[in-house]
Copies of this chain bind each other. A is one copy, B any other.
Amino acid sequence: MVKFKSEKLDHEKVIRDPVHNYIHIKDKVIYDVIKAKEFQRLRRIKQLGPASYVFPGATHTRFEHNLGVYELTRRICNIFNDRYRSQNPKDGLWNADETLLAECAALLHDIGHGPYSHTFEHLFGTNHEKMGQEIITDKNTEVNQALRQVSPDFPNLVAKVIAKTYANPQVVKLISSQADADRMDYLLRDAYFTGVTYGAFDLTRVLEVIRPYKDGIAFTDKGIHAIEDYIISRYQMYQQVYFHRINRSMEVILHHLLQRAQTLYKEDKRQLPVTPQLETFLANTWTLDNYLSLDDGVMETNFSMWRNSSDQILADLAASYLDRHPLESVKINESTKNLIPKLKDLIKEAGFNPQYYTATNSAFDEPYDAYKPSGKNAHSPIEIMQEDGSLIELSEVSPLVKSLNGTLQGDERFFFPKTMIEKTAEPQIFDPIYQEFQRYIKNNELYNPAK
């Protein structure tokens, strides 16, 4: 086993962080990665994209989150090195020599993200995981140069940990599992900045009971209630914040706006003012450097130019995004979906292009990570270590977690222009179109008036 070491800093550096109080930096490689321009760029990309339109405090960025995941990983490794340090390769304990690797992977686990990743990737064919691997392994990046201090192969190993192809599952699962440093940080951080106190869980207790075992990370049985608390926090944050209907509505608008821009550019690029940072993506000629020049401000600067466009749809969608004019929405289900075409007709009749002014969006399609022992996360159930060292899967000992286990939480919604149901006393509200439309809405759900 290689031993990963870096020069230590003369003096430990600390960064103030309202969630973890201080981020502690002792290794030069950590310090240099943070200083790298690819990492500093994360300061300009919001962690929760348009969620600040609903929770104004949620302006925090991927920069802080990455620091936070690093800090949590550092603390966990400290505990592992103190209490569970491996003495021989077969004892299933923590290999102290992999601490720096885990810390670097934690710090860089989201380095590939760009602005509004989800929406952007869908339209422009980028992929934040692939970009992350490239940023880490491309010899021209400052991140790569910082990592190579440790050893020429170190960037590749960091990339492997993030890609989950690294051999030691303990290192991998510290960063990516049902209860990893990544999720712990984002739940606490998103709760802090949104002000949604539900998302806070007892981190101190979780850190008391976390421990390594042969195949990954487990929690001692004294900590069942702390882990339950963490699972409930996740449930609450998904329901309250990540799946908020207005958050999703703003994402719908963003998607339609970029789609419209793409269409216009393809038709005739002269009709679309665009800054150089974004243009290569519309032209599909982008490089890593172009990718690294994108951030939230660049996107919004383009939107700000587009709001003056002669294309009505582009201008309106750009203004809707910047000035926060969300679409309205109602819940739909299998039995009411068939009504949507009728509604789209009415919306069209009212003067809106349904392609750009309606959408169905299912929150179940979102990367929802509620605890599942089968499916996508099958490989990483949360394990509880009993007194005799045997493991037991969490939902077997927690009735609370059992109740969430395997369920799908969330909803599916149909989005449409707010004016279709606006309760203002405008004359148009009496128009037959609007009256007809509103027959299909009841108690915030789509409804079949024919029944």
Bound Cα distance A232, B293 (Å):
42
Known: A22-B204, A198-B229, A225-B198. A386 touches B15 (CB 8 A): no
- Is A163 part of the binding interface, using a Cβ–Cβ cutoff of 8 Å? no
Interface residues in A, total, Cβ within 8 A: 77
Closest to A386 in B: B443
Chain B interface: which of A99-107, A295-303, A309-317, A348-356?
Answer: A295-303
Closest to A299 in B: B297
In the assembled complex, the CB of A281 is this many whole angstroms from the nearest CB of chain B, namely: 15
Bound Cα distance A388, B304 (Å):
41
- Is A260 part of the binding interface, using a Cβ–Cβ cutoff of 8 Å? no
- Is A247 part of the binding interface, using a Cβ–Cβ cutoff of 8 Å? no
Contact (Cβ within 8 A) B22 A196: no
Contact (Cβ within 8 A) A195 B17: yes
Contact (Cβ within 8 A) B305 A275: yes
0/1 string, A322-365, CB within 8 A of B gives 1: 11100000000000000000000000000000000000000000
Chain B interface: which of A37-45, A130-138, A172-180, A426-434?
Answer: A37-45
- Is A409 part of the binding interface, using a Cβ–Cβ cutoff of 8 Å? yes
A423 — which chain B residues lie within 8 A by C-beta?
A: 10
Contact (Cβ within 8 A) A402 B400: no
A275 — which chain B residues lie within 8 A by C-beta?
A: 275, 301, 305
- Is A18 part of the binding interface, using a Cβ–Cβ cutoff of 8 Å? yes
- Is A444 part of the binding interface, using a Cβ–Cβ cutoff of 8 Å? yes
Bound Cα distance A212, B202 (Å):
33
Q: How many monomers of this chain does the complex have? A: 4
Known: A202-B197, A225-B236, A232-B232. A15 touches B56 (CB 8 A): yes
- Is A55 part of the binding interface, using a Cβ–Cβ cutoff of 8 Å? yes
In the assembled complex, the CB of A232 is this many whole angstroms from the nearest CB of chain B, namely: 6
Bound Cα distance A384, B386 (Å):
40
A109 — which chain B residues lie within 8 A by C-beta?
A: none
Bound Cα distance A295, B305 (Å):
13
Contact (Cβ within 8 A) A57 B52: no
Select which of B61, B399, B404 is within 8 A of A399 by beta carbon.
Answer: B404
A386 — which chain B residues lie within 8 A by C-beta?
A: 443
Question: 8 Å CB contacts to B: which residues of A260-316?
Answer: 273, 275-277, 293, 295-301, 304-305
Contact (Cβ within 8 A) A16 B196: yes
A64 — which chain B residues lie within 8 A by C-beta?
A: 56-57, 59
- Is A407 part of the binding interface, using a Cβ–Cβ cutoff of 8 Å? yes
Contact (Cβ within 8 A) B16 A194: yes
Contact (Cβ within 8 A) B56 A67: yes
Select which of B21, B61, B229 is within 8 A of A236 by beta carbon.
Answer: B229
A119 — which chain B residues lie within 8 A by C-beta?
A: none
A interface list, Cβ under 8 A from B: 10, 14-19, 21-22, 35, 37, 40-41, 43-44, 52-57, 59-61, 63-64, 67, 192-198, 200, 202, 204, 208, 225, 228-229, 232, 235-236, 239-240, 273, 275-277, 293, 295-301, 304-305, 319, 322-324, 386-388, 399-400, 402-404, 407, 409, 423, 443-444
22 contacting pairs across A/B (C-beta < 8 A): A16-B54, A16-B57, A17-B195, A18-B57, A18-B192, A19-B57, A37-B319, A37-B322, A40-B322, A44-B300, A56-B63, A56-B64, A56-B67, A59-B59, A225-B236, A232-B400, A275-B275, A275-B305, A295-B297, A297-B301, A298-B300, A301-B301
